[in-house]
Chains A and B, each alone.
Chain A
Amino acid sequence: MSSGPKKRNFQIEAFKHKVVVDPKYADKTWKILEHAIHEIYNHNASGLSFEELYRNAYNMVLHKFGEKLYSGLVSTMTFHLHTMSKSIEAAHGASFLEELNIKWNDHTKALQMIRDILMYMDRTFIPSTHKTPVHELGLNLWRDNVIHSSKIQPRLLNTLLDLILRERTGEVINRGLMRNIIKMLMDLGPSVYQEDFEKPFLEVSAEFYRAESLEFIECSDCGDYLKKAERRLNEEIERVSHYLDAKTEVKITNVVEKEMIANHMPRLVHMENSGLVKMLLDNKFEDLGRIYNLFRRVPDGLSTIRDVMTSHIRDTGKQLVTDPEKSKNPVEFVDTLLEKRDKYDKIISLAFSNDKTFQNALNASFEYFINLNPRSPEYISLFVDDKLRRGLKGEKEEDIEIILDKVMMLFRYLQEKDVFEKYYKQHLAKRLLSGKTVSDDAERSLIVKLKTECGYQFTSKLEGMFTDMKTSQDTMQGFYAAHAAELGNGPTLVVHVLTTGSWPTQSSITCNLPAELSALCEKFRSYYLGTHTGRRLSWQTNMGTADLRATFANGQKYELNVSTYQMCVLMLFNNTDSLSYREIEQATEIPSSDLKRCLQSLACVKGKNVLHKEPMSKDIGEDDAFSVNDKFTSKLRKVKIGTVVAQKETEPEKQETRQRVEEDRKPQIEAAIVRIMKSRRVLDHNNIIAEVTKQLQSRFLANPGEIKKRIESLIERDFLERDDSDRRLYRYLA
């Protein structure tokens, strides 16, 4: 195709009447809109026609001038923001924030109106081109041109932090303005609020509280310091609620907690004369509550308090149970324990909001020190004995229950529950036989408690004792009904028939009863054996009591309340005036230690000396002689002599009880071993020890040496055998 331009055949001309909108159309329309935006920023919008502006913006988008409209908007808005930024920079001192706030309000209002005009663009052009919507664009431009301008950003931050510092030091600031400015930062997006304000705010706060806490701790005691810390914490929480983002609360309280509490915990707790121990000693519930609530907020805070409390309870408790003075009086001893327990219960419920971990720590501490004293089981039983004997008189049923519940709490701490059982049985026996128990209900209630705590086995014998008492009553009624005629006016006999095994074992040494009585006893024996075949009766004279009517030489008549032994002795004086110790011993055959004790109470106690002893001395000698004390007088007609009172055991008695307990434990340990081996078949030594200890811990703490002995005994009796290849293994032999 070399033909030049000269050779033109035809030419298609462009379609001349192409429908074009006025080429200036876009510019003209934009001018109108731009003018409107200026007017809006100049607070001069009342002259504008919304409908016209909306239609113009619509038309621009419709005629594909969306891009022009959008970029025009960006530059116009940027221009106005620059102007605003200048005027904010120019504001002096305190008016800075106010000016910023005013301009921000102006901008948001203008932005809303601009968005209204450009709504159609916002809805159609922006989504299809993935541009930023008008509202968000306005916020971004404000952020970049105003908040992040180099002359405003640092000044804004410093102003805000300075105002907060002034508020912390007691000045009143314009919280409304603060709230507006902070709200603006939040509206600009969470990252603006966090980076431009929250982060530096937290750093400055940490510094402030670090310095303040050091100053406080130097010049205040623990209680005051905590009050100040609490106040600061509340101030910060209040500040957040007034003008900061709610999410800041956790962060700022963490700062205060760390700087004011976590960093000073050991020093606060151990502060001389005002620390935790002092608060515990003085029952400072309010301070304790405060320390709990504050320390709870920081890691390891509660464990710090708990550890101090635990070691304090253990130390004081140890002192208490090992103090020989306190041990003298068992009732007082237990009372002190209960008092201590009540005190800490109250502290935990009032100040430590019934925190489970604190309750557990308290229990563990009590368990620790109560078992430091091997006599604790005995004392607790004695305490119960005392209460059930007399202490409960006049107290209401609910109070009795409360006391018993408290005793049960102490009981739970005991590791050697079987020792307690042993003593309890003895004491109960004495109470029942001497008829000294005040309330049958209270007795039974305690047994029920023990039963729920330790199971049926633990109380079956105790319950057996109550059954015996009841049956004996019925038997006696039957006996007198059958023999009413022949008994006449003779002495009245009351017999308690005790089941062997249910009651504490007693050496059954009988004494010689006076003739009148022994005949009566024989009658009873034949009556009883007549109704119950195949039983054996033996007399436990050492546990009985008797009421005697005595007429003295001066004609005075008294009713004497004595033990069976004492009765036997006194009856001898019906026939003679004077007897030597040996004669009495021969006639009654009372064991000498018992006889001495009983003579001592008949002759040596002032005001109750119905016998006269020669020579006069405190102790009973084998060569002493006794005669009726004719000069005996008493204000009361009824005289109670030498009642058998349950007392703290003497050293040999204690040894004996201990031995009996140890003896009783043997079959229990063996039973446990057999039970375990029966289910496991093969087990090594350490595991047996562990399992046996676990099984028995509700009753006592088994001694590993004893368990080993029991295992050996079981091997001897072919219950178990050692494994041939591994000597540490035991096998169960079925």
Chain B
Amino acid sequence: MGVQKDRVRFNVGGRVFETTATTLANAGRNSLFGAMFDDNWDLQSHAGTTTTEHFIDRNPDCFAVLLDLLRTGELHIPSNVPEKLLYREALFYGLLDHVRAAKWGSFDGNMLRLARSVRGLAPGDGTAIRAGPDGGCCVAHGSMVHVYDWMMEEHPPISLDYQRVNDAIWVDSDNVVISACERLGRDEGGIGLFSSLTGELRYKFRVTHENQAKSYTGGALSFNSDYKLFSSCKGRSNEYGIGVWDQVTGKQVDFFYEPTGWSLGEADKLQWLHGTNCLLVATLFPRKDNCYISLLDFRDKSMVWLWSDIGAPLTDERRVRDAIAMEETRSVCVVNEYEDLGFMDLRRSVGSVRWSSRSRLMKGKMVDEPCYPKLALHEGQLFSSMNDSISVFSGPDWVLTSRLRNSYGGSICDFSIGGDRLFSLHSEENVFDVWETRPSPVM
């Protein structure tokens, strides 16, 4: 064996490490190592001779962990190294993205493990939890939204004039939009866009009717890939309906006024359908006495599909508590308060629900503080929350394949999937759970 040409020796905080330039190249150009060994800095010429030692004035234990990460792509944190310390060191070297990527695998509802439970400070019930695109999340509690990054470090909280928050949504990893109730007679509440990092308000989204700015209550939110933001709006007179804004400029670009005999302005859920360029709007019991689900096409301002339970004989089994459109199967999935799933065909212009009497396990043993079921869809897997657990359904026939449960904190009032993580928010204690995919086995 000849002398290895690309050997590199470091002295980190007094401990000597030897590695190769090849290993260091895994760090990428945008890291300390990438810059250090760039031709500009003329260090490469010394690299061949093992006598030269590059001194770095940092923690050697963390360096060892990070060097191992560069060598193998895997992250193993010894018990004597606090995670926070490691993250700080990774930030110094520019390896934080590497750490995040190695920390958990790509999302699979059937391979989740509870990574941690995070307690918050806010009193009262949580309204909503939303997963961010890179592993962080935000939790709406009363009039505040608490933002956590992927390291579960809390950033400055967000509020919109301290009005009650109805919904929150990540438009990208740096920006969160929240919608809040209006304060009568004043231009407060509505919808605003905030920096997730600093919590500062960038701008508010206004509703104007005949060139007059109106105060309104923002409801459910959604956005599309065309940088348009949608929200249900409820105002004093003419502001009922779905507002549309340009995310980049913050200007209102459209408004879908609520037709008589139908509810849009108080919708519980908006969902943008990329394939059909339509918006699903669902207003559900108990906000209204009846359920209204419709698909809006903004190009010609029409309701292209609709369903309501007005006039139908209503039993609790028939009452829809949440709805989600599944574009691949051209259908809408709904759930009742016993977690029975129902399906509607989107190709028929008028919908009707086909209930599947899958599970009656829950019936009869309701917990003290029940939470109504909620639905989520992620890459062909359907998730539904009920009491203190979340069910995972897979395959074309939506077979129950997994159940996630962490009984501490009471019923799950909301959950959200994003950034390869699942977050569930409990209603009794102010605590939320982080679920991640287990790393793949060694062999």
Contact = CB atoms under 8 A, between A and B. Distances in A.
Dominant secondary structure at the A interface: helix
A124 B91 contact: yes
Contact of A128 (B42, B43, B198): B198
Contacts of B42: 45-46
Contact of A120 (B43, B57, B92): B92
B91 A116 contact: no
A117 B34 CA distance: 11
B187 interface: no
Nearest to A62: B92
A325 interface: no
Given A113-B41, A128-B197, A50 B91 contact: no
B41 A116 contact: yes
A46 B42 CA distance: 7
25 contacts: A45-B41, A46-B42, A50-B35, A50-B41, A51-B36, A51-B54, A51-B55, A51-B57, A54-B36, A55-B56, A112-B38, A113-B41, A115-B35, A116-B35, A116-B36, A119-B31, A119-B94, A120-B91, A120-B92, A123-B91, A123-B94, A127-B174, A127-B197, A128-B197, A128-B198
Contacts of B94: 119-120, 123
Interface in A11-51: 45-46, 50-51
B32 interface: yes
Nearest to B42: A46
Contacts of A155: none
A109 interface: yes
B40 interface: yes
A120 B94 CA distance: 7
A581 B277 CA distance: 97
Contacts, number: 46
Interface of B: 30-32, 35-36, 38, 40-43, 54-57, 91-92, 94, 174, 197-198
Contacts of B174: 127
A263 B32 CA distance: 60
Contacts of B40: 45, 109, 112-113, 116
Given A116-B41, A119-B32, 7 more contacts: A51-B56, A54-B32, A55-B56, A55-B57, A116-B38, A127-B197, A128-B197
B133 to A, nearest CB: 15
Contacts of B55: 51
Interface of A: 45-46, 50-51, 54-55, 58, 109, 112-113, 115-117, 119-120, 123-124, 127-128
Contacts of B56: 51, 55
B56 to A, nearest CB: 6
Nearest to A120: B92
Contacts of B31: 119
Contacts of B36: 50-51, 54, 116
Nearest to A54: B32
Nearest to A130: B195
B77 to A, nearest CB: 22
Nearest to A47: B42
A225 to B, nearest CB: 49
Contacts of B91: 120, 123-124
Nearest to B34: A116
A440 to B, nearest CB: 60
A54 B30 CA distance: 13
A120 B54 CA distance: 19
Contact of A58 (B41, B54, B92): B92
A119 B55 CA distance: 18
Contacts of B38: 112, 116
A127 B200 CA distance: 13
Contacts of A124: 91
Contacts of B30: 119
Nearest to B41: A50
Contacts of A117: 35
A224 to B, nearest CB: 52
A119 B35 contact: yes
Contacts of A45: 40-42
- Residue from B43, B57, B92, B174 with most neighbouring chain A CB atoms (10 Å): B92
A397 B43 CA distance: 83
A119 B94 CA distance: 8
B57 A50 contact: no
Nearest to B202: A130
Contacts of B35: 50, 54, 115-117, 119
